[in-house]
Chain A
Amino acid sequence: KAGVTQTPRYLIKTRGQQVTLSCSPISGHRSVSWYQQTPGQGLQFLFEYFSETQRNKGNFPGRFSGRQFSNSRSEMNVSTLELGDSALYLCASSRQTGNTGELFFGEGSRLTVL
Chain B
Amino acid sequence: GQQVMQIPQYQHVQEGEDFTTYCNSSTTLSNIQWYKQRPGGHPVFLIQLVKSGEVKKQKRLTFQFGEAKKNSSLHITATQTTDVGTYFCAGPPGNQFYFGTGTSLTVIP
Chain A contacts of B31 at CB under 8 A? 99-100
A to B contact number (C-beta, < 8 Å): 58
Stretch of A17-25, A65-73, A101-109 contacting B (4+ beta carbons < 8 Å): A101-109
B42 touches A98 (CB 8 A): no
B101 touches A42 (CB 8 A): yes
A45 touches B97 (CB 8 A): yes
Stretch of B10-18, B43-51, B54-62 contacting A (4+ beta carbons < 8 Å): B43-51
A58 touches B101 (CB 8 A): no
Chain B contacts of A45 at CB under 8 A? 96-99
Q: How far is the CA of A60 from the CA of B99 in the complex (A)?
A: 16
B30 within 8 A of A: yes
Shortest C-beta distance, B4 to chain A (Å), equals 9
B85 within 8 A of A: no
Shortest C-beta distance, B84 to chain A (Å), equals 17
B88 touches A102 (CB 8 A): no
B44 touches A35 (CB 8 A): no
**7 further interface pairs, Cβ-Cβ under 8 Å (given A43-B43, A102-B48, A107-B41):** A43-B102, A58-B96, A100-B30, A100-B31, A102-B33, A105-B42, A108-B42
A and B contact pairs by CB, cutoff 8 A, 10 listed = A33-B96, A42-B99, A43-B88, A59-B1, A90-B42, A99-B31, A99-B92, A103-B33, A103-B43, A105-B42
